Amino acid sequence: MLLALFLLAGSFYFFNLKENELDMKLAIDNSSGKKENNLRSFFNNKDEYDKAFSAVGSNEKKEILAGITSHHFLAKELITRFYSGIENTSVEKVIIVGPDHYGKLSDKDTDVVMTEISWDTPFGELNPDKDLMQKILKNNARTGINDDVFKVEHAIYTEVPFIKKVFMQTEIVPMIVKNNYSYEEFVKIGEKLRKTAGENALMIVSSDFSHEATVKEAKEQDDLSIINLQDFRFDNLNNISCDCRACMAVLLGFLGPNANNFYLVENKNSSNFGSPDEKVTSYISGYFLYD
């Protein structure tokens, strides 16, 4: 049993290194121009974002409670379409939830970690909502602060410049979730988050879907995942093929009665964005709407 868990963890780590390999070839040096003590995305070239938003153009805006999008920068146009379709005028805080790709929390007593450090982006500084984070820490015993994890976690740093560009005045609550199958606790965290964050809070789950699958396999897995996002409930979490089912459990708790209002924005895979690999990573991008 222990050997099986070890192999599962090792394969998860390997697949995510492979998934991020093309992204890292695109990455800009993370040290140049960085403010002391601030965090920064590895993808910090303003022109990359301007070109992506220009290529996507204007989209019909939707007022949403939460959404799901990729953290694979190769799919930056898909991520751009996701963010550019959100009505942003009332959003005051963005809670961004992503997986612990590299097992940094595997031997820790915490299930969710955050950072109170600000982020440098090509569009200005993105600040954390420290007041909300302190409330989260007070209300959830297995949450904590771990700044170092965020220096390497692409599930968060890939999203940060997009968030700052679209939500200029907002604050952020970045959360990394342990790879864990005790979904009940994560649902409870999401429920508390919804109550604690109040109105005008938006949750975004940063998650990719099928990994190391053929295009045909990815399509089959994604079709099943979409069906289960449309019928989003606890019993269906294991039917969603993504790299952070625990993140989906947090999302489920946050959504509450809005859990079945899923709107699909786009379903693509890495081959659609120029990846030469025979095995692909897939992306499901979508919104959860208010009633």
Domain range for 180: 2-289
Q: What is the dihedral of CA 138, 142, 144, 148, to 10 degrees?
A: -170
pLDDT in 10s for each residue of the chain, 291 residues: 434 443 444 444 444 445 455 454 444 444 444 556 899 999 999 999 999 999 998 888 999 999 999 999 999 999 999 999 999 999 999 999 999 999 999 878 899 999 999 999 999 999 999 999 999 999 998 999 999 999 999 999 999 999 999 999 999 999 999 988 889 999 999 999 999 998 899 999 999 999 999 999 999 999 999 999 999 999 999 999 999 999 999 999 999 999 999 999 999 999 999 999 999 999 999 999 997
Domain count for the chain, please give it.
1
* Tokens linked to 183: 């979904």
Give, in order, the Cα–Cα distances in Å from 62 to each of 88, 195, 206, 251.
9, 22, 19, 18
pTM score, two decimals?
A: 0.89
CATH number, domain with residue 15: 3.40.830.10
